[in-house]
Every structure is written in C-alpha cells, then in structure tokens.
Structure 1
Amino acid sequence: MTDRKAQLAANLAEVEERITAACTAAGRMREEVTLIVVTKTYPASDVRILAELGVRHVAENRDQDAAPKAAACSDLPLSWHFVGQLQTNKVRSVVGYADVVQSVDRPKLVTALSKEAVRAGRELGCLIQVALDAEESGRGARGGVGPGGIEELGNLVADAPGLRLDGLMTVAPLTGPYAGRQPAAFGRLMDLSTALRGAHPAANMVSAGMSADLEQAVAAGATHVRVGTAVLGVRPGLG
C-alpha cells in the first residue's frame, strides 16, 4: 500500500467512526447517511485511490477542475456531485459528468440544466441550495436561495424535463441569525425539507454538514454529509 493510500484509508476510517458514532447518538442507522468526499483541488489519482477504498460519491465545486478529473476517472463506479456556484455558461460541461447538482438556486439555472440534460439524454438530480444567511426570498453570500424561494424553485425543477428534484442542500452560514449555530441551522433545514416533501415526497435528500460539523448535521437528520479536509487533508493554498 502506498503512503498516500494508507493515509487516505486511515482518514476514511476515522471519518467513518465519526459518522457511525453520530448515527448511534441520534438513534439512526449508519446506512441512513451517505458520505460524499469533496475532492476539489486534489488530483484524479486521489479519486482513484478513494474508489479503491470503497468511496462511491465524490464532489467538486469548479467545472474547470472537475471536468478533466471526471473524464480521467470515467471508468470508475462513482457518482459525481457538483456543489459549487454554477454559472449558466458552464452548464453544458457539468451536465456531461455530474449525476447531481447540489447548488440549484435560481430559475435561469433550472432552465439551462433542463435544456442540457435533455440534449444529453440524461436525468440529472437537483438539490435546491438553501441560503440561511439570506432574507426570506433573497440570495446568500455563497449562493443559495432564501427559504421563501424553495417552493417556486422546487416546482420548477420537478416540472422540468431531464431533471429530478432530490431535495435540499445548505452550507452552515457565516453571517446572519444562524452563524455559528449549526444545530439550529441544520434543524431549520430539516423543517424546510419536511415542507418540501409535503409537495414532493421523493425529494428526501438533505445534504448538510462538512468536516467540522458533520455530527451536528447527522443529529439533525441529514442524509448526506460532504467531507473534504478530514479525508484528504488540509488543502494547499489556492492562488
């Protein structure tokens, strides 16, 4: 086993222990929570090692990095999640490899994703990104729509050809009433998920929690956690 594979294996085992312990504490089954490893800034070689170690879900946030990496790993049994703010001019490329776009936050993006999914003959999973630092119908500092915009966007996605409404995603906010209050933020997201499922019962995916706060997300009821640093290590500085 190479040094890098040994390092990633040890890190994955530690994250697995954390998720398992969080599930036990919350009275949940371990299989209720899916780990998505955020591989941004790391090479395709790391993605290959992760796949060998049993990882099946990976996430990227920049198309210019993700597209060549996904192409280099196209033979692997992976689901690719796009989690970054997505400009419409990148949609065609992203639809080429992503299985789920977790950052849907405006009608124009829904239209563009639908057009390209139909063109590519694919069904694309979509999560509405919820901005808990935004006004009710505003937009967040790091993308996302305020809670008041979820219903409209959810209906648009559900009705759009080529798209599948899978649920909600959030990033713990740095500002606003939920800043530094992850349990409250993730609890609010779960309430919004319950409301969304009232109209769209299959939209039961809740993506929340990262390396520092995955326990709070699992406690709240998240179905997917997005972990990068705890698995791959501290990222090199981005110039």
Structure 2
Amino acid sequence: MSRLEENLRAVRARIDAAARAAGRDPAEVALLAVSKTWPAADVRALAALGQRDFGENRVQELLGKAGELAEVELRWHFVGQLQRNKAAAVARTGAVVQSVDRAPLVATLDRAGQEAGRPVGVLVQVDLGGPEGTIGARGGASPAEVPALADAVAGAAGLRLRGLMAVAPRDEEPGPAFARLAAVAERVRADHPEAVEISAGMSGDLEAAVAAGATLVRVGTALFGARPLPCGEFEEHQPRESQQ
C-alpha cells in the first residue's frame, strides 16, 4: 500500500468514526484534500484512489494543476484569500470559492460567473473569533455580517450559495467554536435552505467539526504530510494554517 493510500484510508476512517460517534451517517461528510504546495502527481494518485475534491489556496497553483489535470474528473475548491482581480480566472476553472468574506468580492465573482457562463459555487467564510469573541484573526466575515453576505450571494445570478466555511480559533478548544458556526449556519439556512454545506475541520480537529455538523472537512497534512515552505515564504490563505 502506498503512503498516500494508507493516509487516505486512515483519514476516511477518522471521518467515519467521528460521524458515527455523533450519530450521523458517514456519507454526510465529504473529504476535501488540500493539495496546496504538493505536485499534480500526488493529486493524480489520490484521484486514482477515488478522491475527487481538492483544494488550493493560491490562484496560480490552482490554475496550473487544473490545467495539467484537465482530463481527470476532479472538483476544485479555492480556499485562499481571493483578490478581486483574480476572480475571473478562478471562475473559469469551475472551482468552488470557499473564502467569500466581503461584499465587493461577491459583486466581482458574480460578474465572473456570468461571464464564464456558469454560476460560481460559493461558501461564505465566517470568522469565529477567539475565546473573548475577538474578530479578524483567522479571516472571514463576522457572524453578524454573514446573513447579509449570504443574501447577496443568493441573489446574484452568477453565484450559487452552497453554505459556510470557517476555521477554529488557535487559542480555543474547537468544539465551542464549531458550535458557533453551526448556529450561524442554522440561521442562514432558515432563509436559504439550499445552503447546506458546512466546511470545517482540518487534520487536527476534524472530529470536533464533524460532531458539530460539518459536511466537508479540509485535510492536507494528514494526507500528504508536513509542508516545509521555502525560507521567507508564507501561506496566502487566511487562516495561515499548516494543519489543513
């Protein structure tokens, strides 16, 4: 068994066990393989094992891999902080954008989706704050801003609202943070029943996310291994996190 195959089985076993422990059907929870910094060959190898959803946090890396693997049936997700001048390029790949956190980006992606001839799938990113409720450390819109952003996405012809995304704060147990996300998601679904996805949980805290209702967990390290970055380089993704 290859390293990737062994890791994939282990991660899926964790997801299944977490779902059963929470009284959920494991089929309700999908795995997003966060392939940032890893070569297209690794994506191809995981795809051959049945993995279909992959996430990138840099536009150039997404474009490169999507092009190189165009013949492989994959579902791409963009999980990084997206600059408005790159929205059209992401829209053309058909990727789901999980990091929508401000109204100007909604408008830009809407135009890009209409120009591409297909709606862009969108998750609104929620900033879950920290133990004292501080906002801004991990990226995303504040919980109070999320319903209005969700309304804007749902009303845009070039977009399709799929749900919410968040990352647990660094200095707090993940369970309470994911419970806050679940409460915001419930509020959004009351107005937009189609917004069923909750993207939450990474290599180190996926069990807590599944227990709180996550439908998609973003895992990189537990699948691919640690990501040593070149000296002086930093991750663009907000949050800047190595445990996805």
Q: Hey, what does 1:217 align to over in structure 2?
A: 209
Whichever residue aligns with residue 169 of structure 2, its letter is P
Q: Hey, what does 1:44 align to over in structure 2?
A: 40
Sequence identity (%) = 51
1:89 and 1:143 mapped to 2: Cα distance?
19
Q: What is the CA distance between 1:139 and its match in structure 2?
A: 5.9
Which SS does the other structure have where 2:93 is aligned?
A: coil
Q: What is the CA distance between 1:141 and its match in structure 2?
A: 2.8
Residue deviations 1:134-167 (CA, integer Å, cap 9, x gap): 8xxx962332000010111011000111100111
Instruction: Quickly say closer, same or farther: Cα 1:61–1:19, change in 2 above 3 A.
Output: same
Q: What is the CA distance between 1:97 and its match in structure 2?
A: 1.1
Q: Hey, what does 2:241 align to over in structure 1?
A: none
1:191 correspondence with 2:183? yes
What TM-score does the superposition give when structure 2 sets the normalisation length? 0.90
1:235 correspondence with 2:227? yes
Runs of 4+ in 1 over 3 A off after TM superposition: none
Match of 1:7 among 3, 8, 26: 3
2:94 and 2:166 mapped to 1: Cα distance?
18
2:226 and 2:176 mapped to 1: Cα distance?
27
Q: Structure 1 regions of 5+ residues with no counterpart?
A: none
Matches within 5 A, 1:77-88: 77-88=73-84
1:92 correspondence with 2:88? yes
Q: How many aligned positions are there?
A: 229
Which SS does the other structure have where 2:145 is aligned?
A: helix
1:88 and 1:41 mapped to 2: Cα distance?
22
2:21 and 2:94 mapped to 1: Cα distance?
33
Q: Whose helix proportion is higher, 1 or 2?
A: 1
Q: Hey, what does 1:112 align to over in structure 2?
A: 108
Contact kept, 8 Å, 2:128 with 2:135, in 1: the verdict is no
What TM-score does the superposition give when structure 1 sets the normalisation length? 0.92
Q: Structure 2 regions of 5+ residues with no counterpart?
A: 234-244
1:158 correspondence with 2:151? no
Contact kept, 8 Å, 1:82 with 1:98, in 2: the verdict is no
Residue deviations 1:177-233 (CA, integer Å, cap 9, x gap): xx3220000011001110000000110100000000000001111000000000001
Contact kept, 8 Å, 2:129 with 2:138, in 1: the verdict is no
